[in-house]
Structure 1
Amino acid sequence: MGNEWIGSAELVRAAARAFGSPAAVTAVAVVAPRGEMVATAGCDDQSSFEIGSISKVLTGMLYRDVTERGLISQTTVLRELLPLEGHGEVGSVSLSSLAVHRSGLPRLPPGMHPLRRTLKLWSYGENPYGDSLTELLDQTRNLRLGAPRPRYSNLGFQLLGHAVAEAAGSSYEQLLQDVLGNGFRTPIRAEDIGPTDLTGVSRFGRPQAAWVGEAVAPAGGVRASISIMRGFLRSVLDGTAQGLSALDPVSDFTPRVRIGAGWIALKHEGRMITWHNGSTGGFSSWIGLDRDAGTGVVVLAARHGSVDRQGFKLLTEFTTLRTVPPPPRTLNGGPAV
Structure 2
Amino acid sequence: MRTPIVLATAGLVAAAAATVLMPVAPHLGPERTGDPDLAATVRAAVGDTEGLRGLAVAVIEGDRVRVAGLGDRAPGGPAVEPGTPFEIGSIAKPLTGMLLARQAASGAVGPDDRLAAVLPGVTGPAGEVTLAELASHRSGLPRLALDSPGAMISTWWAAVTAGNAYAGYDVERIVAAAGSADPDERGTVSYSNFGAALLGRALAARAGADYPELLRRDVLDPLGMAGTQVATDAGDLPPGRAEGSTDAGRGADPWLGAGYAPAGVGVWSTAEDLARLTAAMLAGTAPGADAATPRFDAGDDRRIGYGWFTSRHGDREIVWHNGGTGGFRAYLGFDRAADRGVVVLGNTTRDVDPIGLRLLDVRSDAADESTGLDGWIGAALALAFTFLGGLSLWSTARRGTDRVTLLSDATWAVVFLGLAHRLGDWSVVPGWLWPLGAALAGAAVVPAVRRWRGLPLVAGAPLWRRWTGAALSAVFAALAVVVIVA
TM-score between both structures, scaled by the size of structure 1: 0.89
Say which SS state the counterpart of residue 175 (structure 1) adopts. helix
Q: Is the 8 A contact 1:272 1:290 kept in 2?
A: yes
Q: Is the 8 A contact 2:145 2:194 kept in 1?
A: yes
Q: Is the 8 A contact 2:111 2:131 kept in 1?
A: yes
Corresponding residue number in structure 1 for 2:69: 40
Say which SS state the counterpart of residue 345 (structure 2) adopts. strand
Q: Is the 8 A contact 1:201 1:304 kept in 2?
A: yes
- Mapped partners of 2:349, 2:309: distance in 1: 21
| 1:107-151, Cα deviation, whole Å (9 max, x unpaired) | 112306553233222332220113110011222232111011211
**Match among 189, 194, 201 for residue 233 of structure 2:** 189
How far is 1:165 from its partner? 1.5
- Mapped partners of 1:248, 1:305: distance in 2: 29
| 1:146-172, Cα deviation, whole Å (9 max, x unpaired) | 011211111110011111121122211
Corresponding residue number in structure 2 for 1:105: 141
Q: Which moved more, 1:155-164 or 1:186-195?
A: 186-195
Corresponding residue number in structure 1 for 2:32: 5
How far is 1:34 from its partner? 6.2
Greater share of strand: 1
- Higher RCO (Cα < 8 Å, 6 or more apart): 1
Greater share of helix: 2
**Match among 191, 200, 203 for residue 161 of structure 1:** 200
Corresponding residue number in structure 1 for 2:24: none
1:278 is matched by which residue type in structure 2?
G
Corresponding residue number in structure 2 for 1:237: 282
- Mapped partners of 2:230, 2:252: distance in 1: 17
| 1:274-330, Cα deviation, whole Å (9 max, x unpaired) | 11111000000001000111110000011112111111000117xxxxxxxxxxxxx
1:26 and 2:63 correspond: no
**4+ residue runs over 6 A deviation:** none
Corresponding residue number in structure 2 for 1:138: 176
Corresponding residue number in structure 2 for 1:330: none
1:203 and 2:214 correspond: no
Say which SS state the counterpart of residue 229 (structure 2) adopts. coil
Aligned residue-pair number: 317
- Mapped partners of 1:269, 1:117: distance in 2: 42
Corresponding residue number in structure 2 for 1:170: 209
- Mapped partners of 2:337, 2:207: distance in 1: 32
Q: Is the 8 A contact 1:251 1:260 kept in 2?
A: yes
Corresponding residue number in structure 1 for 2:417: none
How far is 1:10 from its partner? 2.6
Structure 1: 5+ residue runs without aligned partners?
318-337
**Match among 309, 318, 342 for residue 273 of structure 1:** 318
1:177 is matched by which residue type in structure 2?
R
In terms of Rg, which structure is larger? 2
- Mapped partners of 1:53, 1:112: distance in 2: 24
TM-score between both structures, scaled by the size of structure 2: 0.62
How far is 1:251 from its partner? 0.6
Call closer, same or farther: CA 1:147–1:261 in 2, change over 3 Å: same
- Mapped partners of 1:152, 1:123: distance in 2: 22
- Mapped partners of 2:193, 2:44: distance in 1: 33
Q: Is the 8 A contact 1:279 1:305 kept in 2?
A: no
Corresponding residue number in structure 2 for 1:77: 114
Q: Is the 8 A contact 1:46 1:196 kept in 2?
A: no
Corresponding residue number in structure 1 for 2:350: 305
- Mapped partners of 2:274, 2:292: distance in 1: 16
How far is 1:191 from its partner? 2.2
**Match among 250, 258, 264 for residue 295 of structure 2:** 250
- Mapped partners of 2:314, 2:295: distance in 1: 22
Structure 2: 5+ residue runs without aligned partners?
1-27, 73-79, 363-486
Q: Is the 8 A contact 1:5 1:16 kept in 2?
A: no
Q: Is the 8 A contact 2:322 2:331 kept in 1?
A: yes
